[in-house]
Amino acid sequence: MSVEPRLALIVSDSPRAQAGAEALRRSHDWVPPTEADVLVVVGGDGFLLHVLHEMLDWDHVLPCYGVNLGTVGFLMNGPHDALHPIGQRVAQAHAVSVRPLEMHVVDQHGKAFCYYAINEVSLLRETRQTAKLEVRINGKVRMEELAGDGILVSTPAGSTAYNLSAGGPILPLGSRMLALTPLSPFRPRRWKGAILPESAEVEFRILEPKKRPVAAVADQKEVRQVRDVKIVACQRKELTLLFDPGESLEERIFAEQFQV
């Protein structure tokens, strides 16, 4: 951004974020979100994801510049610095586009749900019984039965979160790929997952759903006792995150891959 955009300030309810935002409130002439070019979001990764999810229901989504006053801050920028005005920081920031996943679910009662995920969609067994899933890619059965704790589909932005903890690959931003990662697979035991093009349509059919119930989770939204799940990347809901020069999300993803 070459000129300073109009900024709206959104702050988490946490005491740390509220206290830290006081200096920001005094340092800039803020506008309401309806008049803004950019949202400055103060808090942690969880609060930023909450704001992004809220925006998915708006007619027009805005770029988001996160200011970290949370715990991890992987998706955020550093705290407010009086020597570098917030308007200037946002104007000089680099943009990263993120396409959320669109999860379509039908439960065992035939009820349909649709939720978005910015990080990942995960299917998880609900009881001590192993989950059994059929895996389809673009309408073709690629795995007749996957037995284990479940499976997840991750975006590049979410590939360093739950996906990485489950042993999945880190996906570079801009790769337009998805990670398909099994969770504690029992059979086939040696299957490590797959990397799919973002254009792929991923479907799961729950085998023995009453005996082996499965929940589907799109970030924080959960549907229990599911029967069928379809996941696609949603181009029409593309989101934009802004990062300070030299502190891009891509650089952080590179750093994650070379940690020892």
Token pair belonging to 73: 């801050």
Same domain, 57 and 122: no
Binding region: 45-46, 50, 119-120, 149, 157, 160-165
Token pair belonging to 18: 């509220």
Same domain, 227 and 242: no
pLDDT of 245 reads 87
Give the strand pairing for 239-243 and 64-68. parallel
pLDDT of 2 reads 52
Same domain, 210 and 119: yes
pLDDT of 214 reads 98
Residue 102 has pLDDT above 70, yes or no: yes
Can you tell me the distance from the alpha carbon of 154 to that of 106, in angstroms, rounded to the nearest whole number? 20
Same domain, 123 and 230: yes
Query: Which of the following is catalytic: 45, 107, 219, 228?
Result: 45
The whole domain housing 15 covers 7-98+238-257
198-211 burial: b if 16+ Cβ within 10 Å, else e: bebebbbebbebee
Per-residue pLDDT tens over the stretch 10-56: 999 999 999 989 989 999 999 999 999 999 999 998 899 999 999 98
Residue 160 has pLDDT above 80, yes or no: yes
Same domain, 168 and 247: no
Is the preceding peptide bond at 85 cis, omega within 30 degrees of 0?
no
The tally of domains found in the chain comes to: 2
Residue 79 has pLDDT above 80, yes or no: yes
Listed as own residue / partner, the contacts of 204-210 with beta carbons closer than 8 Å and 24 or more positions apart are 204/123, 204/133, 204/134, 204/135, 204/136, 204/151, 204/228, 204/229, 205/133, 205/134, 205/136, 206/131, 206/132, 206/133, 207/132, 207/133, 207/134, 207/145, 208/132, 209/108, 210/108
Per-residue pLDDT tens over the stretch 170-191: 998 778 999 999 999 999 988 9
Sheet with 221-223, strands from edge to edge, namely 194-197, 177-183, 150-154, 120-125, 214-218, 221-223
Record the pTM: 0.84
Is residue 219 annotated as part of the catalytic site, yes or no?
no
Residue 52's domain is classified under what CATH number?
3.40.50.10330
Residue 208 has pLDDT above 90, yes or no: yes
Give the strand pairing for 177-183 and 194-197. antiparallel
Per-residue pLDDT tens over the stretch 213-254: 999 999 989 999 999 999 999 988 899 999 998 766 677 677
User: Residue 253: how many CB atoms within 10 A of its CB?
Assistant: 19
Residue 123 has pLDDT above 90, yes or no: yes
Same domain, 18 and 141: no
Phi, psi dihedrals of residue 193, rounded to the nearest 5°: 110, -165
Binding region for NAD(+): 45-46, 50, 119-120, 149, 157, 160-165
pLDDT of 254 reads 72
Same domain, 119 and 244: no
* Mean pLDDT estimate for the chain: 91
Same domain, 84 and 146: no
pLDDT of 248 reads 63
